[in-house]
Structure formats: structure tokens, C-alpha cells
């Protein structure tokens, strides 16, 4: 496109094109202004921009109204085609049909959310959308949001806070915490006090290898600290480590209730007050009207409601 063409396009907008088509149809500026809810002055200014952009009078004043020039008559079908394309782009997309889709859905989530949601999600996809595929990737906050922004991921699931405006966040479920240890651990034989809690060795889950977390912040408020002897990047390995040691851990309640018995572990309420753990779905705002991503969010809602 030449520089002069670029300059011409910058003088126009959708309203200008709609005014042009209305003038071709009604042939009177007053009628166009009334039909479009604009002032006669704005119609006059718009017509001036059109004439400047196309380098032609476009409409000649006659006693009966406005008469289009040969240039205007030739432009009409092309302008109408351009407006129709814009209308089509702005109209509602075709309904998404999961049953016939072959889309691959890419989700970022830590292993706790993967373990809780993947069985129901995969089962639901197999029943309702047999041609679709599900890919789950372990993603932390920053790298996950970057992947979402670049289009590498369709959705993020987890605990997120202070999101930029380019992302949309929807609550999925609320979680809490439970303290978990092997069956027969002495923790379960005495009073569940913060002081006694701190006497045992602890495991934390931290993808970055941090040796402290939400529990330690609560203990600090009481003037206490615990002995964190290990940090693991994932939750299920932490449960396995507890099964073969005298360590304890305080982990998301849904995960503990679902998987701790399989490792021979018991659990109880933690002896300190901990904030709620809201698990959310995050998508990029460009996908707010995406049929596949909307369907995926609906499926995850169903799974989270029915998960034990």
C-alpha cells in the first residue's frame, strides 16, 4: 500500500463509510442525519472527509437532493462489500460444536490442580468431544501468564493475584489447608497446638525451592518458627515423602482428602489460622468469546463441582 493510500485510510472510519452508503440510498443529508441519529453538521464534516479521501465531489447538490457522481456510483459496491465484511467480523461467531471439534486444548496448572481436575476433564472430553485433545503443562505464575499472552496456552488454573487487565479471572473453587503425616505419627497423639506443631520436621512444596510459605507467615505472627527440612517442587512427591518419614506437611485440603489415604497418611486441621486458597481459571481477554475456551471453562466448572 502506498503512503498516499495509507493517509487516505486514516481519514476514514466506519461511520464515514456508513454515512456514504446512507447518502447513496437517501440522497438527502437531513434524512441521513435523522436516520443515523447525527447532526447535519456532522454529516457535512463527514462528507468533507470523504471527498478529501477519494479526491472527488462524490455528491452534487440538485433541487431534489444529492446526486452521486460517477466515482461515487463506482465506489458504492466496494464500500458496501467492505462494510459487510466488518459486520461479519463483528457478528457472533458460529456456535462451537465440541462433538465435531479436533481442537487441542492447552492448560497450565500445578500438579495439585492437575491431579484433582485431569481425571474428570479427560473423561468429559472423551465423552463429549472425542476428537479433541488435552495437554496439561506445569506452569508457575509468571511463565504461565507469559505463555497465555503469547497464545501457547488456552487457560491457566491455580492461585493468582493482581492480574493485569489483559487477563480475565474466574473463580473455580475455594480450598483450605490440612496438616498431614503418616498413620501412627506422634502429631496425632497430642494437643494440636502451634508450639507442639513446631517441634516436628516439616516438608514444604515450592517449585522455586523456597523453604517457607503461608504457614511460616502465620507462625511468625505468633512469634514461632518451624523446622523446614525439605522443599519439593510438587505435591504428590511430598505425600510420598511423608509416607516414609516422621515429617509433617500442611497442604491444600482437597488434594490431601483425595490422595493422602492412598499413601497411608492421616490428616487434621492445622493448628494455625491460614488464609483461604481460591483456585481460579485465567484466560486472555482475546479469548473471552472463544467457543473452545468457553467450553473448556464450562467443563472445568462441572468437574470441580463433582470432584470429591
Q: Which residues pair with 296 in a beta bridge?
A: none
Element containing residue 248 per DSSP (H, E): none
pLDDT at position 12 is 76
pLDDT at residue 91 tops 80: no
What is the band of 284 on the pLDDT scale with cuts at 50, 70, 90?
A: very high
Rounded Cα distance, 243 and 231, in Å: 15
Residue with cell 505468633: 222
Phi, psi of 50 (to 5 degrees): -65, -45
Burial of 31 (0-12, 13-18, 19+ CB in 10 A): middle
Segment 254-275, tens digit of pLDDT: 999 999 999 999 999 999 999 9
DSSP string computed for 46-92: HHHHHHHHHTS--EEEETTEEEE-HHHHHHHHHHHHHHHHHHHHHSP
For residue 113, what pLDDT is reported?
A: 95
Q: Is 215 helix (H, G, I), strand (E, B) or coil?
A: helix
- pLDDT computed for residue 7 by the predictor: 63
The rounded percent of the chain whose pLDDT value lies above 70 is: 94
Q: What is the mean pLDDT of the chain?
A: 90
- DSSP conformation letters of the chain: --HHHHHHHHT--HHHHHHHHHHHHH--HHHHHHHHT--HHHHHHHHHHHHHHHTS--EEEETTEEEE-HHHHHHHHHHHHHHHHHHHHHSPPPPP-GGG--PEEEEEE-HHHHHHHHHHHHHHHHHH-TT-EEEEE---HHHHHHHHHHTS-SEEEE---S--TTEEEEEEEEE-EEEEEETT-GGGGS---HHHHTTSEEEEE-TT--S--HHHHHHHHTT---EEEEEESSHHHHHHHHHTSS-BEEEEHHHHHHHGGGGTEEEE--SS----EEEEEEEEGGGTT-HHHHHHHHHHHHHHHH--
Report whether pLDDT(116) > 80.
Answer: yes
Assigned C-alpha cell, 7: 493517509
Structure confidence by residue, pLDDT tens digits, 13-67: 888 888 999 899 889 898 888 878 888 898 999 999 899 888 899 999 988 889 9
Task: Provide the 3-class DSSP secondary structure of residue 283.
Answer: strand
Q: Is the pLDDT of residue 209 over 50?
A: yes
Q: What tens digit of pLDDT does each residue of 118-128 get?
A: 999 999 999 99
Amino acid at each position: 500500500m502506498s503512503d498516499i493510500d495509507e493517509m487516505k485510510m486514516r481519514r476514514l472510519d466506519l461511520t464515514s463509510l456508513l454515512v456514504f452508503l446512507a447518502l447513496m440510498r437517501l440522497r438527502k443529508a437531513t434524512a441521513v442525519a435523522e436516520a443515523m441519529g447525527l447532526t447535519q453538521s456532522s454529516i457535512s464534516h463527514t462528507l468533507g472527509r470523504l471527498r478529501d479521501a477519494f479526491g472527488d465531489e462524490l455528491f452534487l447538490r440538485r433541487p431534489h437532493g444529492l446526486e452521486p457522481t460517477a466515482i461515487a456510483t463506482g465506489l458504492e459496491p466496494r464500500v458496501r462489500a467492505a462494510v459487510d465484511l466488518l459486520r461479519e467480523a463483528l457478528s457472533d461467531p458460529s456456535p462451537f460444536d465440541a462433538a465435531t471439534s479436533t481442537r487441542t486444548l492447552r492448560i497450565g496448572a500445578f500438579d495439585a490442580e492437575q491431579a484433582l481436575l485431569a481425571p474428570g476433564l479427560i473423561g468429559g472430553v472423551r465423552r463429549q468431544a472425542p476428537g479433541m485433545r488435552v495437554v496439561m503443562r506445569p506452569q508457575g505464575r509468571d511463565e504461565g501468564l507469559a505463555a497465555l499472552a503469547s497464545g501457547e496456552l488456552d487457560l491457566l488454573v491455580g492461585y493468582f493475584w493482581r492480574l493485569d487487565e489483559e487477563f480475565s479471572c474466574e473463580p473455580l473453587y475455594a480450598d483450605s489447608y490440612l496438616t498431614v503425616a503418616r498413620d501412627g505419627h506422634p502429631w496425632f497423639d497430642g494437643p494440636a497446638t502451634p508450639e507442639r506443631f513446631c517441634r516436628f520436621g516439616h516438608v514444604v512444596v515450592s517449585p522455586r525451592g523456597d523453604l517457607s510459605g503461608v504457614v511460616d507467615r502465620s507462625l511468625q505472627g505468633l512469634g514461632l518458627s518451624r523446622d523446614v527440612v525439605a522443599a519439593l517442587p510438587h505435591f504428590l512427591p511430598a505425600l510420598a515423602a511423608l509416607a516414609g518419614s516422621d515429617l509433617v506437611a500442611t497442604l491444600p485440603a482437597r488434594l490431601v482428602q483425595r490422595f493422602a489415604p492412598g499413601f497411608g497418611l492421616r490428616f487434621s486441621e492445622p493448628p494455625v489460622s491460614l488464609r483461604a486458597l481460591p483456585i481460579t481459571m485465567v484466560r486472555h481477554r482475546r479469548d473471552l468469546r472463544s467457543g473452545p475456551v468457553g467450553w473448556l471453562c464450562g467443563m472445568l466448572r462441572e468437574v470441580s463441582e463433582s470432584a470429591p
